[in-house]
Amino acid sequence: MPAAENDYGRHIEAGIRNRFAHMGEAPLTILICGRSCYPHNSPDERFLWSAMGVAVQNMLLAARSIGIGMASRVLHLLAEPRIREIVGLPDDRVIGYTAVVGLSQRRFRPLNRRPIDEVVHRNGW
């Protein structure tokens, strides 16, 4: 593995370990929830999951842009019945993601983006 990829992997692993070690200290946890209701005549759950995924991505980008750390998780799956009870979530809603939000303990590294022609293809792969 090239050194840059190896460094990146170590950075990601360190971030994951840090999140688990300090998750209980986060001042805010957001449950991203939704209800399958589109299209109106014949709701398709795929639209619900797509919408929740986009919502989480937008929240992650917005948080980072103002220096706030956020990590989306599906850890609610470990205790979903109890969480639903605590927050009084209606039966027709699902919890899609759990977002843990707080001030980052580490500075954000600059984003490294691959050139667009490496990730976007036109008229074929």
The reply to whether 121 falls in a domain is no
Domain count, the chain: 1
pLDDT tens for each residue of 57-108? 999 989 988 889 888 888 788 899 999 999 999 999 999 999 989 887 777 7
- Give residue 5's pLDDT: 59
Across the beta sheet with 94-103, what order do the strands follow? Answer: 28-34, 94-103, 68-73
Segments forming the whole domain that contains residue 97: 26-109
Pair of tokens at residue 7:
């460094």
What contacts 24+ positions apart, CB below 8 Å, involve 42-48? 48/94, 48/96
The reply to whether 6 falls in a domain is no
Tell me the sheet residues that pair with 103. 68
Pair of tokens at residue 45:
């759950």
The reply to whether 38 falls in a domain is yes
pLDDT tens for each residue of 3-52? 555 787 887 788 778 777 777 788 899 999 999 999 999 999 999 999 99
The reply to whether 18 falls in a domain is no
- Give residue 38's pLDDT: 94
Q: The domain that contains 90 carries what CATH number?
A: 3.40.109.10
